[in-house]
Amino acid sequence: MATTKKQVDGNNLTVRVTKTVTVHPKSLHPQQIIHLSNLDRQCPMLMYVVFFYKASFAYRNLSLDSVFNSLKSGLEETLSTWYPAAGRLSLNQGDGKLNLWCNNGGAVLVEAVTGAKILELGDLSHYNEFFEYLAYKPAFQGNFSEMPLIVAQVTRFGCGGYSIGIGTSHSLFDGPATYDFLRAWASNSAILKEKRSTQLYKPVHERGSLLVGNHQGLTKLPESGSSATRAAAIDHLYQLIKQAMAGQTQNFGGSRNLPNMENSNLVLRTFHLSGAMIESLKSKVFGDRRGSFSCSSFELVAAHLWKARTKALGARKGAMVCLQFAVDIRNKMHPPLPKGFSGNAFVLASVALTAEEVENGSHEATVEKIKAAKNSICNEYVIAYNQALDGGAQGSLPPINELTLVSDWTRMPLHTIDFLHAHAAYVSPLFIPMPQVAYFIQNPNDLRGIDVRIGLPPQSLKAFSHYFLTNLQ
């Protein structure tokens, strides 16, 4: 069996894989092709998170084999309803676009052991390279039809605790759909608990009104016609690329280069903003007007992060900089997407200013811009966004210094998913194709706080920490 070793704090920690199985749906579904939307095709790679469950008296006598078999049985049952998750991506030879081939090919489940203790890993909210060995990562040779869409690895630690590393294809689910799928799987697994139904709605897998083009029997998006609505996020992105190509942002003050934003050079850091710190920032920004000024924690922290990152990366004062963040469109469409929609249902909202405006402007002014961008997301915006992606490249966005991306996970309390007897101690995202994205994560020990996970160039870490934590402590 495969064995991997990683040195953590001077200790050689070993993870040994003891079992690998393909898990098929308990009830096989007739094979079919589900046409993906352009929103699904943006990042067809596996996205990983690791659940950590510390040692507990409740399962001190529970064997790894028992946990593995319960997870396997629960996954078999879950895949019967969430059947596209047992399929593969398929490349349409006619238009070169990816679709979902529901072929019952199955998910992959791995069993592993390590002598390491969870306590040795330190603060679980901080990224640790050892976490990467707690998830199964199938080799990808460029053929999506051979890549499973769901993979998982359950690892028993030397202390009696467990981790469950799970990878899901971003072409299959977005964040809310992944959350619903994992809740259903945990419920069906029944480890140290009775099986219970937590699924509020039956998942709807057809992409329906989000499809662009002519597909027999499927809905076609209406043309935008004379509407002036445009997808600001797409327009701003093209402007940033044009600006970069023109070489307008290569030097700061004519003396030094901007930090290298290549993905391999970025360092992942987590900054914990307690509920008290966020309230303190609100008081400093809005003062006595807090009662009359409506502002969410997300809006304020996003504005604060944008200012800090722009300063830390040293963007030229007159350069265009942009903040983009995901907005759920399930209830923005007309008619709304059906309850239980399992595909990607988000677009990016966008705010563009000059670096000088971001750095010198007030938090309040930036928050107002963010709110306006969020409120601009409507049915017409989604149509324009979706159609703008049609025919475009399928893949992740290259890193751009002047683009700050934020993904809000605070509405998906992943730590509450109880694969074992209680909530997870922490759920950590692994290194992703776009590590420069800032993730806002709910902290299990401070539900009003926000953990901000972001990738930064090493030489910008100190400056970012200074600017980001200013006014927060």
Nearest to 132 by CA among 143, 144, 121, 142: 121
Active site residue 170: yes
Strand partners, 321: 353
User: Cβ contacts of residue 464 below 8 Å, gap of 6+?
Assistant: 308, 309, 312, 456
Q: Is 192 exposed, middle or buried (0-12, 13-18, 19+ CB in 10 A)?
A: middle
User: Cβ contacts of residue 66 below 8 Å, gap of 6+?
Assistant: 191
User: Cβ contacts of residue 65 below 8 Å, gap of 6+?
Assistant: 111
Cα 402 from Cα 240, distance rounded (Å): 7
Cα 126 from Cα 223, distance rounded (Å): 46
Q: Which H or E element spans position 238?
A: helix 232-245
* Strand order, beta sheet including 320-328: 267-273, 446-456, 438-443, 403-408, 320-328, 346-354
Question: In the structure encoding, which two tokens stand for residue 249, read together?
Answer: 């942002």
Task: Tell the residue number behind the tokens 């589900």, with chain if given.
Answer: 34
How many Cβ atoms from other residues are within 10 Å of residue 148's Cβ?
22
Question: In the structure encoding, which two tokens stand for residue 407, read together?
Answer: 């993904």
* Sign (positive or negative) of CA dihedral 285, 291, 292, 298: positive
Cα-to-chain-centroid distance, residue 115: 30
**Residues 35, 170, 205, 363: which is the catalytic one?**
170
Strand 403-408 and strand 438-443: pairing? parallel
| Residues involved in catalysis | 170
